[in-house]
Amino acid sequence: MKNWPLVQSYFHNRNFAQMEIDSFNQFLDKKLDEIVEENKQIVPKIEEVRIELDKIEVGRPQIVEADGSPRTNFYPMEARIRNRTYSAPIYLTMRLLRRDVEQDVKRAYIGELPIMLKSNRCWLNGKTGDELVEMGEDPKDFGGYFIINGSEKALMTQEVLASDRVLVSKQAQDKIIAEVISTRGAFKGRVRILRNPDGTLNVTFPASPRKLKLFVLLKALGLKNDREIMEAFEGGPKEIENDALINLETLQVKTEEEALDKIGKFVAPGQVEEYRLKRAQEVVDAFLLPHIGQEPKDRLAKAYYLVMMATKAIERASNLREDDDKDHYANKRLELSGKLMEHLFRYSFKYFIKDLKFQIDRTVTRRRKLNISTVVRPGAITERIRFAMSTGNWIGRATGVSKFMDRVNYLSPLTDLRKVKSPLDKNRELYEARDVHGTHWGRLCCIETPDGPQCGLVKNLALLAEVTTETDESPVEKMLRDMGVKLK
């Protein structure tokens, strides 16, 4: 126990649930604005009307009494006693335009958002021990959880595979797969390159034709001739050039237009050629490697990224590299409360926009007066968020995300906030996924895990482990460019 003073000093000025609070604060301060930015313009079926979204604000928790009057000094203890949800109002600045003429501008109330205890918007944030006692709170309570209908709910950290990271593995019958989960906003697209035993390379991505040849896609992305394709594969071992030549021999398309038409015949069958080409370009821009970009100017960068993936698959087939380990913790990411709330709010906000379009169309067709107050229905967001947090059924078919927080003793709620849940099916064997991996050292507890079907799938963070929040990479990229680093 000689190291115990070190552990005590670490937690002396530090909250046990700080990483959950930091994650939720990031969601409030940055991610809400990003979600609104993704859906900046709403154009319903009646095209002369459109709504522009501007600033989103989340207030402090308040309660609306039975007589309809709001009261702001609404503390967590009152929410527990009265079986209420500790939530704050969300306001969104909206502009209604008709034939490009502004008709109405309003800071509209669009719903309620549950607030995490001790976060920036919580009344308990920054209070001293005596003030907390006065508000009916335990000064030793660490926060990091929510109060939904009077019940304390903690969001269980989810362990997911890292996005935008290429993983290579050998499958049955000597087939090699290089795959990446490309993520942009709410969209996750799995892109796979398959190297067959005869050296041919196929690629699949969302909405792509079956057994699409990689080199057809490279031509469609702007690598115009064989020389440009071969130059992209240059600089590696001879096996890579050999496989590239095998694929060039079997390539039947000559131009970028032919390559796009091959994709277009699948995504828009029976249409005229002009429409097929346009639809193929839209599919390639939107669904292929969206993390690189979704504009026509990003196509060449996508082509070189696919070449890099193919190179890794060929190297694995030639035994020049090992399989990537999916259980290695460098290939995993932990989604804390802020990220989980981001997924939930994005889904609820999409439904709110859909409902908004419906209300506008209905109001116009019934020839009623159109203004923001009549088309906004605040329950659309509130109901969805509250249902998910009450039941634990999250988007993406995840269950048990929101957990009733145990208060049997002081340690029970602590372990609830440090649990890490894997999305893998508990009814399957998956011995390797359940095993203790070398990279768990110092990050996850190698002993604490439940018995039975959840064994090894529900883990606990180590006592001194800390999960950092998401960081914007653009300042680092700018610094590297200023220092003279060039992209290859």
The answer to whether residues 129 and 158 touch, using CB atoms and an 8 Å cutoff, is no
pLDDT at 488 over 60: no
pLDDT at 415 over 60: yes
Express each pLDDT in 425-444 by its tens digit.
Answer: 888 888 888 999 999 999 99
What is the reported pLDDT for 78?
93
Does the pLDDT at position 4 exceed 90? Answer: no
The share of the chain scoring above pLDDT 90, in percent, equals 48
- CA–CA separation, 161 and 164 (whole Å): 10
Residues forming a β-bridge with 213:
202
* Cβ–Cβ < 8 Å for 49, 98: yes
- 402-404 β-sheet, strand order: 146-148, 151-155, 402-404
| Domains by residue range for the chain, with CATH | 24-157+334-406 (no CATH), 167-317 (3.90.1110.10)
Q: Confidence class of residue 381 from pLDDT cuts 50, 70 and 90? A: very high
267-311 residue pLDDT tens: 888 888 888 889 999 999 999 999 998 898 999 999 999 999 999
pLDDT computed for residue 87 by the predictor = 94
pLDDT tens digits, 447-467 = 999 999 999 999 999 988 899
Give the model's confidence band at 209: pLDDT under 50 very low, under 70 low, under 90 confident, else very high: confident
Q: Which region holds residue 211: left if phi is over 0, alpha if psi is between -120 and 50, else beta? A: left
**What is the pLDDT of the chain when averaged over all its residues?**
89
pLDDT at 46 over 80: no
pLDDT of residue 165: 92
pLDDT at residue number 487: 67
* pLDDT level of residue 333 (50, 70, 90 thresholds): very high
User: 162-187, pLDDT tens digit by residue?
Assistant: 999 999 999 888 899 999 999 987 78
pLDDT of residue 436: 92
Helix axes 238-249, 226-233, angle to 10 degrees: 160
pLDDT at 233: 87
Confidence of residue 154 (pLDDT cuts 50, 70, 90): very high
Look at residue 1 and tell me whether its pLDDT is greater than 70.
Answer: no
Phi, psi at 259, each rounded to 5°: -65, -45
Element (H or E) spanning 134, and its range?
A: helix 129-134
Q: Rounded to two decimals, what is the model's pTM?
A: 0.90
Q: What is the mean pLDDT of residues 393-420?
A: 88
